[in-house]
A and B are shown apart, each in its own frame.
Chain A
Amino acid sequence: MSQPKAASRSKALVASVFGDGWRALVLRWLTLPTAAVGALLIGAVIILVMGANPLTGYHALVTGAFGGSYALASTAVKAVPLLLVGVGICIAFRANVLNIGGEGQIVMGALAGAATALALPHLPSIVLIPLVLMAGCVGGGIWGAIPGLFKAYRNVNEVLSTIMLNLVAVQLMNYLLAGPMIDKSESFAVVGRIPQTKLLSPNSWLPIIVPGTQLHLGAVIAVLVAVAMYVLLRRTGFGFRIRAVGLSADASKYAGMAVKRTTAMALTLSGAMCGLAGAMLVFGSISHRMVTDGTLTGFTGSDGYYGIVVALFGGLNPLWTILSAFLFGGLLVGGTSMGIALNVPYSSDLVTTIVGLIVCFVVSLDAVRRRSTQQAGPSSLRQLLTMRWQQPAAASSRAGPQRAPEATSADKAKEALP
């Protein structure tokens, strides 16, 4: 609707980079690297306190994540679900919906995909693979639509409903994988049967694209989906409505947009992305089964939470989220190598801690930046990131009726926050 001309946008971009002097430049563009370095430094102190050598650890982490083609492929495979969840989080957060339900949506998408593959094992790959991935989207989409509709039409806080639905989804999975969907050929071992499906039809396996590694077709699909969602957010009416509603629900309503429907649709689409991530976890797995261990994160590996971090680190922009997902995939994959190099059992927990610290640093530094650059500026990270995206448009186009969402955003969006 209000897309600026290319020339004026690039001018605005230059102004936004250099306009406010070096201090603003540092604050605006080095926030994320600073957050990462800060978190890694605290991580180093923790390793020291634990009695190990942080340099050895971090060296092993980097080598294990990015050293050589096999490491890079493993990192890319780990990044696939992170990227898809991250893209889903971008969509939801842009619409001012805090989707904490990635975990549950991943699980429901994976269950839907696995059930489809179990029901129709004889379809050819060319049909079955798209079908199971679609099923994943539908499963996750439904699990996103529930809190979306609740929020839009009953004003139920989405943070709480998505957290609750995470618990419901995991227990539903534990029931299905230990009961109706269990591998019946498995004998009763001493410790009982593993909650897992039988070997899924080879026609549903995502094909390996680099022989000798685990890199599967899902990586390509995930990147394409990220690009598609970027286009959707930036270039379509639906994407514009999502961003407008996210900036100010009141102003969007005034401008005649269907605010409730947009909110519900954004969370549904976000859930569909997470569901697709779940399908990727099943059909790109080494075991070619859907398997869990009975704990809350046994199947997902916390990807639903890490996806939030990935999206924030990517500035809520699907394209930057691709890079961000790759880096975090490396952190998670390299964490295992670090554990082996340091010979400690707590490396995965250490990586979890570092990820958590990164989140704390990103939100804190962002708040500091906000204060120093715009004293009376927007009141939230989401909004600030959206503003940055919106600024070229705001700087170049004339005021008109469709300008309403942006014009009042700084005031209105504060009230729109949960």
Chain B
Amino acid sequence: MSHFFTVAVFSATVASGIALGCPLLLAALGETVGQRSGVLNLGVDGIMLLGAFGAYFTALRTGSIGLGVLVALAIGAVMGLITAFINVTIRAEQGISGIGIYIAALGLSGMLFERYVGTPLPITNTRGPFYAVDIPLLDRIPYLGTMFFKQNILVYLAILLIPALTFVLHRTTYGMNVHAAGENPAAADSLGIRVTRVRYSAVIFGCTMAGLAGASLLLLDGIFQENLTQGAGFIAVALVYFGGWRPAGVAIGALLYGLTGAVILTWKTLGIIPLSLSDLAATAPAVIVVLALLFLVGRYRQPTALSKPYLRGVS
């Protein structure tokens, strides 16, 4: 235990916790916007997988990680269009259509990987803004510099998204429209808000973020494998509930999840947790989220129209 509380180990653990939480944060922030507009998207995990594969394949072939991230964003947007079409236009049962999209994307990403890559190769280009950006001056701050200011560019983006989304959701017309579409679509419709358009945009944004989250997860490992996410997308959905549909709350949840994971990893490395117990310890983040759901639920109300399709004239 004594080793854990040395400054170097502690700040490295926090830094890796933030990095681990980044994919969850990106996906969960996107899902927050979608859910606030009234659409429950359970396909996040599948979209993350496709985004991760797209980024991996592009980076492998072109050597450019930036291009890979763009491809992941594009894949996310396309999947968002499909998700929105099924859930908003066709008005399918959202809890189940999301599972369908997840299973299809899980299979598709594995299939593309087997067909076009086969033997897993790591991405060799491990420098540049997608691995670490040292913020000038701030990275020199003792301890805090290592923790917060030597992260990759997606981490900074995710952190900047927290206040940005809080502002957009609570202080802009678009945010109010999203809120109205998620709370009372019939009333919103009667006031001239185009519910379908608002929901489409929110879902496409959410899925684009899921694609980006996939790319961010890929950058952590530097290599793609089948079912790379290991359920991270589902955790992201749970974090939206955990955070009470507010970006700041979601961010706390993602950070908590990432930090718990990082602490367990460090303890394992230091031998504080014996190797035989590491699988048991790995349950900790999920257990914490379940307990948090148990005790936090009720403090925040979910969007009233969440997972309810809207059809004009039928309330």
Chain A interface (Cβ within 8 Å of chain B)? 46, 50, 98, 100, 150, 154-157, 159-161, 163-168, 171-172, 174-175, 178-179, 295-297, 302, 305, 308-309, 312, 344-346, 348-360, 362-364, 366-368, 371, 375-376, 379-382, 414, 417-418
Contacts and interface: CB of A to CB of B under 8 A. Distances in A.
Contacts of A359: 96-97, 99-100, 103-104
A168 B95 contact: no
Interface in B201-251: 226-227, 230-231, 234-235, 237-238, 241
Given A349-B108, A367-B93, 15 more contacts: A100-B99, A161-B293, A171-B286, A175-B277, A175-B279, A295-B227, A345-B115, A353-B103, A355-B103, A355-B107, A358-B100, A359-B99, A359-B103, A360-B86, A362-B100
B283 A356 contact: no
Consensus secondary structure, chain A interface = helix
A156 B97 contact: no
Contacts of B286: 164-165, 167-168, 171
B136 interface: no
B59 to A, nearest CB: 21
Interface stretch (B124-132, B155-163, B306-314): B306-314
Contacts of B110: 346, 348-349, 352
B60 interface: no
Nearest to A345: B114
B289 interface: yes
A154 B294 contact: yes
A179 B276 contact: yes
A380 B307 CA distance: 10
A316 to B, nearest CB: 11
Contacts of A175: 276-277, 279-280
A354 B107 CA distance: 8
28 contacts: A46-B108, A150-B293, A154-B298, A159-B95, A160-B238, A160-B241, A163-B234, A171-B286, A172-B279, A174-B279, A174-B282, A302-B103, A344-B115, A345-B114, A346-B115, A349-B114, A350-B111, A352-B104, A353-B108, A355-B103, A355-B107, A362-B100, A363-B92, A367-B91, A375-B314, A379-B308, A381-B93, A417-B307
Given A352-B110, A359-B96, A178 B293 contact: no
A174 B282 CA distance: 10
A164 B293 CA distance: 10
A155 B100 contact: no
A50 B101 contact: no
Contacts of A98: 95-96
A357 B283 contact: no
B106 interface: yes
A22 to B, nearest CB: 23
Nearest to B280: A175
B297 interface: yes
B100 A346 contact: no
B96 A163 contact: no
Contact of A360 (B100, B230, B283): B100
Interface size band for B: 35 or more
Contacts of A376: 314
Given A175-B280, A355-B107, A159 B42 contact: yes
Contacts of A171: 279-280, 282-283, 286
Contacts, number: 184
B230 A296 contact: yes
A175 B282 CA distance: 10
Given A353-B107, A356-B106, A167 B231 contact: yes
Nearest to A42: B104
B20 to A, nearest CB: 15
B118 interface: yes
Consensus secondary structure, chain B interface = helix
A358 B298 CA distance: 36
A178 B280 CA distance: 11
B92 to A, nearest CB: 4
Contact of A363 (B96, B102, B226): B96
Given A98-B95, A156-B293, A368 B100 contact: no
A269 B181 CA distance: 37
B12 to A, nearest CB: 24
A344 B227 CA distance: 19
A178 B99 contact: no
Nearest to A375: B314
A381 B96 contact: yes
A308 B99 CA distance: 9
B287 interface: yes
B118 A163 contact: no
A351 B280 contact: no
A269 to B, nearest CB: 20
B72 to A, nearest CB: 19
A418 B100 contact: no
A150 B294 CA distance: 7
B290 interface: yes
A382 B97 CA distance: 12
Given A100-B99, A296-B230, A360-B86, A164 B280 contact: no
A163 B238 contact: yes
Interface in B139-185: none
Nearest to B225: A295
Nearest to A174: B279
B290 A164 contact: yes
A155, A302, A357, A367: most-surrounded residue (chain B CB, <10 A): A367
Contacts of B293: 150, 156-157, 160-161, 164
A47 to B, nearest CB: 10
B137 interface: no
A156 B297 contact: yes
Contacts of B90: 364, 367-368
Interface string B77-105: 00000000010001111011101111111
Nearest to A360: B100
Contacts of A364: 86, 90, 92, 97
A150 B110 CA distance: 35
A417 B306 CA distance: 9
Interface string B270-301: 00000011011011001101100110011000
* Closest A-B pairs by Cβ, 9 of them: A356-B104, A359-B100, A352-B107, A356-B103, A353-B107, A349-B110, A346-B114, A175-B279, A349-B111
Nearest to A103: B231
A11 B314 CA distance: 30
A154 B96 contact: no
A159 to B, nearest CB: 6
Contacts of A350: 107, 111
